[in-house]
Every structure is written in structure tokens, then in C-alpha cells.
Amino acid sequence: EAGVAQSPRYKIIEKRQSVAFWCNPISGHATLYWYQQILGQGPKLLIQFQNNGVVDDSQLPKDRFSAERLKGVDSTLKIQPAKLEDSAVYLCASSTGPMNTEAFFGQGTRLTVV
Amino acid sequence: KQEVTQIPAALSVPEGENLVLNCSFTDSAIYNLQWFRQDPGKGLTSLLLIQSSQREQTSGRLNASLDKSSGRSTLYIAASQPGDSATYLCAVREGNTDKLIFGTGTRLQVFP
């Protein structure tokens, strides 16, 4: 079974530029998550999708971050414009559904904003 | 608001020791608790998933326990090896919101 795929693996941009990350969840997984992990901290949930609907985006900085899940499968996370404090690893995860299901994570995208 | 705490933040031990990593959470209304491993520069690998109705789960040298009423979980690693060196994260799936909330992790180093 293929895992959660993310691209790119690494990205370096200047502040005020825009960037986009892509995630392809495990086939058949209805729930998709985007997390931000700052160095030395645990992952923080940014947004959670159930199929192509948003379940929770309460911690997504909506003035600069946006996310969408096309046709309930792939998802993109965009930052525009980027700030220095956005430097982090962005992790995508998926699970078959809500509640008692196991979450599986991709390798993450390491973003450095200079 | 659910808060997840992991103690200790870092641990360095000689090879062969048995270890206990601790995870505590403030709201016992959870669906499950999951332990992950994270190697430097990598994503998260799921180690064990304990449902709220279960007391423990075992996989190889790993054993995780859950005491939901007291808001605690432990990850026991038997006969530690240098290859176990990584950051270990616990996460709870909230019962009310279905969010997966992470602790800050325990950074483990096992030296030969």
C-alpha cells in the first residue's frame, strides 16, 4: 500500500514570496490533515478535511494560508505572503475516517523562509 | 482545551536499558491515543494505536499502556538499541472534535 505522498521535500523562499505544498493521501482515506511543526515542537493542526469539506481550520492563519482538497483526494496548502516565522516542516496525514482510525503521515515539506 | 504533555523532553541512555516515556493529557474524552516515532528530517511513523477501550498494545520491544481516567499513557521500550534514537511523539484523538492533538515529544538518544 502506497503511503502519503508530499512534494516538494524542501523549499527555500524569501519573505513575502508565495509557496504551495502538495499532498496525495492514501487511496480511500477520507480524512486529510495538514500540520505545521516548528523545530523542537510537536505538530500543530492547521486544517482538517473530511472528503472535500473542511472540518476544522481554527488554527489556520487565514490572512496568509489557504488550503483546498480537490475532489476529495489531493490537497494543496498555500502560503502568500510568507513570513520568517513560517519556517517549519509541513506535514500531511490521512486516515480512513474520523474517530477510531489510525493516522498515517507523509515525509513532510521543510520550508525555510529567508 | 486539550493539552498533551510529554516527560521527559530528552533522554540519553546506554544501549540495553529498558525505558519508559510518559504522555499525559488533560481531557479524558478521547477516541484513541497514538504513539509516533520521528527521525531527524523525516515524517512521523506510527508505532502503536490504543483505542479508548483498550489498556495496552504491544509491538515487538514496544509496549504502550493507556489509563484514560487519569489521562496518562506510557511507552515502554525494552532492551534499547542505538537504532531507537529518535523523537517519540504521542497524540490523542479528541472525542468532541475528532482533532489529533500532539505532545511536544521526547528526544531519545541511545548510545553504544
The Cβ of residue B89 has, within 10 Å, a number of other Cβ atoms equal to 24
Interface contact B102-A42, CB threshold 8 A: yes
Does residue B103 surpass a pLDDT of 90? yes
Measured CA to CA, the distance from residue B53 to residue B2 in angstroms comes to: 19
Chain B: give the shortest CA distance to residue A55, in Å: 9
Q: Which three cell numbers stand for residue A66?
A: 489557504
Predicted local confidence at residue A72, as pLDDT: 81
Interface contact B105-A42, CB threshold 8 A: yes
Quick one: pLDDT band at residue A98, thresholds 50, 70, 90?
A: low
Report how far apart, in Å, the C-alpha atoms of B43 and of each of A14, B39, B77 are: 24, 7, 21
Does residue A52 surpass a pLDDT of 90? no
Predicted local confidence at residue A70, as pLDDT: 81
Q: Are A8 and A45 in contact (CB under 8 A)?
A: no
Measured CA to CA, the distance from residue B103 to residue B90 in angstroms comes to: 6
Q: Rounded mean pLDDT of A107-112?
A: 96
B20-58 tens-digit pLDDT: 999 999 999 999 999 999 998 888 999 999 999 999 999
Do the strands A65-69 and A75-79 form a parallel or antiparallel pair, or are they unpaired?
Answer: antiparallel
At residue A31, what is the residue type? T
Q: Rounded mean pLDDT of A48-71?
A: 92
A6-49 tens-digit pLDDT: 999 999 999 999 999 999 999 999 999 999 999 988 999 999 99
Interface contact A45-B44, CB threshold 8 A: no
Which chain B residues have a beta carbon less than 8 Å from that of A48? 98-99
Chain A: give the shortest CA distance to residue B110, in Å: 19
Q: Are A37 and A89 in contact (CB under 8 A)?
A: yes
Asked, as a colleague might, if the bond just before A81 is cis with ω within 30 of 0, I would say: yes
User: Strand, coil or helix: what is A85?
Assistant: helix
